[in-house]
Structure 1
Amino acid sequence: MPFFQPSHARTKVPAMSPTRRRKLIFSYAPDWVLTIVLAALFYSLDKVNGYRRVFSLEDTSLRHPYAVHERVPNIALYFICFVSPLVIQPVINFFTVRSWWDFHNGSLGLVLGLALTGSITQFVKITVGRPRPDVIDRCQPPTGSVDPTFGLSNWTICTQANEAILRDGFRSFPSGHSSMSFAGLGFLSFYLAGKLHLFDSRGHTGKAWLALSPFAGASLVAISRTMDYRHHWQDVLVGSILGTVLAYFSYRQYYPSLESDLSHRPYSPRIKRDDEDVLPIHIRTGSESHGFANHESRANPFLDTQARDPERYTSFEDHPDAQDFELGGTVPRPRSGSLEEIWKDDEARPRMGSPFVDPFATKTSTAL
């Protein structure tokens, strides 16, 4: 039994049938296809001749030598930002929750974060067209060349025969190595922090060092870009922030907050169980919910805290709407159903524990 599960007895969840498992997997197939296809389309823009800013031949920040051999070549970057998290996350899964659904969510979240980061980075690189610190060495302007009077030089002055080297010389902002390494290793760091319950208000130094170690690797990759004179420091800083933000954004699509009592568990599937597998239950709404919460909280204040925050339930089976979800060891999503249902129910049915209750909200409903 994973060490994160509480020792008290819990309701046993029926095993999922093979048919149901296939239906569940196929429901997420569009997510995989859309993410991979869009990422491939944006990566194909690498051959596009983007914008190229003018520059000064006298600018010393652009006169650094062109490094033929990079400290972290592209193939090494792919192993660092993608392969290593893809291999390490299942190992963490095995020693903690041992859930195939966690493996699915972790892998999809990682791919989503990298795809979003790579696409945005590539788009900005092409449209901004900032010269790299080694652009003059790449350009190889004729001997004795000077800037025009009261003006700057442009790429047409270059004698570089290799078009790929010259084109890449105007893609400094932001740093792709920085953004991708922080996106991949950043997601791994958040994944590890969730499994370790880093923000459990207990203050474990070992947890902090372990959870933040992937960021150290990403930092080394980012710093190497300034050592190879491939990027200015601003490019590295913005790329690192971009990768970190999108990594957390992708992580939160499939996992609860790192401060949640169930941060080690993935969210439950988006789809509901089949009708024949679930018994109808009554959902308290409006004044019923408010009265129920107040009555129970007087007898048990802890229950009132749990009702206000669904992510604080010790297990998905303890959630009052547990029948609407499946896969034991997952976190019930706070609200289920289509967007149309959520919009319609928002005014008619305040959530349990809401500080404001509409006195006219007397509608009740059943859920399958």
Structure 2
Amino acid sequence: MSQLKSTIDHYFGVDALDWFDRSYITDWIVVGILWFLTGAVKASPVFEREFDLEDLTISHPQKEDQVSSFFNNTTALFGPLIIAIIIGFFQRSLLIIHHGAIGICATRGLAELITEVLKHSVGRLRPDFLSRCQWDKVIQKCTGLDTTMANGRKSFPSGHSSTAFSGMFFLSLLIAGQTAAWCFNIPKAPRCFKSSRMGVFVLTILPLFWATHVAVSRLQDYRHHTEDVIAGSLLGVVCSLLCYLIFWPNPFLASSFHPEAFGQPRLLYRETDYVRSRATDLDLEGVVEH
């Protein structure tokens, strides 16, 4: 243990964990609760909506997924996480690694929970539901596997879309926060390839191309209706934006890129700031009283 601490101190500095506060433990517990609740919702029954055998919107064939759930989930979680770790190591900052990790875990947990709650509550039928149902005209009921039919009732919103956009938009925000790519009034150094406006801008939107591909593939595979994909994509974007802004400065504001704090996360729990703000409040109260 002492060897690990000495290694951390040597690479990141003896003050590498000075930012840490016990409140971050509570934050991680809350994130863990989000993931636990998601698992509980997944285990609950799905609302069984009535259907019409003549409904053409649910009569498409069942196909293989172009992007598997495992690969999509892995990419959305570990893609941003690995990039945050790389940035943290290059800048010798455990704070960046921690905030990147908790930010993406919170994003994925929140997006997944909301998605699963909506799926199980709405029970919208997938475009390939009748293929899953395997209707028997004699006994007048579906003869498909229960698990397959239950999954066929989870069309709204698109889980693949919310997963891809929550992870990839968080990654885009992370890159934009390190490069000021989305803050167009920040001056850039001349005669430097790394200062290319279009270069860093395209770099930030590359993850969104992957997320868009995932979303479109759900329509091509007859897994979702158009509204499901749009709702899932927006859900992922909103969750990633909210969770990113909790731990990182706004990448659209010039004030977030002050030279001393360029690319650095928020220090959420600081006693000095609290004392200073309390003193300011008391001074203002005194002025009002006089």
The TM-score by the shorter chain falls in which range?
0.7 to 0.9
**CA RMSD of superposed structures (Å):** 2.8
Name the SS for the 1:28 alignment partner. helix
Residue aligning to 2:162: 179
Contiguous gaps of at least 5 residues in structure 2: 1-12, 188-195
1:40 aligned to 22, 36, 39, which one? 36
Verify the 8 A CA contact 1:200 1:261 in the aligned structure 2.
Answer: no
Verify the 8 A CA contact 1:141 1:157 in the aligned structure 2.
Answer: yes
Residue aligning to 1:360: 287
Count, aligned residues: 262
- C-alpha distance in structure 1 between counterparts of 2:184 and 2:50, whole Å: 52
**Partner amino acid, structure 2, of 1:213:** L
Name the SS for the 1:34 alignment partner. helix
Tell me: CA distance 1:345–1:25, structure 2 relative to 1, closer, same or farther (3 Å). Answer: closer
Residue aligning to 1:270: 269
- C-alpha distance in structure 2 between counterparts of 1:137 and 1:62, whole Å: 8
**Partner amino acid, structure 2, of 1:178:** S
Contiguous gaps of at least 5 residues in structure 1: 1-13, 146-155, 273-323, 325-334, 351-357, 364-368
Verify the 8 A CA contact 1:51 1:129 in the aligned structure 2.
Answer: yes
Verify the 8 A CA contact 2:179 2:200 in the aligned structure 1.
Answer: yes
The structure in which a higher percent of residues are helix is 2
* 1:228 Cα deviation after fit: 1.2
Verify the 8 A CA contact 2:19 2:267 in the aligned structure 1.
Answer: no
Q: Do residues 237 (structure 1) and 230 (structure 2) align?
A: yes
Residue aligning to 1:288: none
Tell me: CA distance 1:347–1:270, structure 2 relative to 1, closer, same or farther (3 Å). Answer: closer
More deviation, 212-221/202-211: 202-211
More deviation, 218-227/28-37: 28-37
Verify the 8 A CA contact 2:247 2:268 in the aligned structure 1.
Answer: no
Verify the 8 A CA contact 1:183 1:246 in the aligned structure 2.
Answer: yes
**Partner amino acid, structure 2, of 1:141:** W
CA displacement, residues 32-90 of structure 1 (integer Å, 9 cap, x when unaligned): 122123312222322321212222211111101112x3111121112211112211222
Residue aligning to 2:142: 158
2:176 aligned to 193, 197, 219, which one? 193
Tell me: CA distance 1:222–1:349, structure 2 relative to 1, closer, same or farther (3 Å). Answer: farther
Name the SS for the 1:49 alignment partner. coil
Counting only pairs closer than 5 Å after superposition, residues 198-209 of structure 1 correspond to structure 2 as 198=181, 199-201=183-185, 204-209=197-202
* 1:244 Cα deviation after fit: 0.5
Residue aligning to 2:50: 54
Tell me: CA distance 1:127–1:345, structure 2 relative to 1, closer, same or farther (3 Å). Answer: farther
The two structures have a TM-score, normalised by structure 2, of 0.81
Say which one has the larger Rg: 1
**Partner amino acid, structure 1, of 2:33:** V
Tell me: CA distance 1:345–1:50, structure 2 relative to 1, closer, same or farther (3 Å). Answer: farther
**Quick one: higher RCO (CA 8 Å, sep 6+), 1 or 2?**
2
Q: Percent same amino acid at aligned positions? A: 31
Would you identify which runs of 4 or more consecutive aligned residues in structure 1 move more than 4 Å? 344-350
Residue aligning to 1:152: none
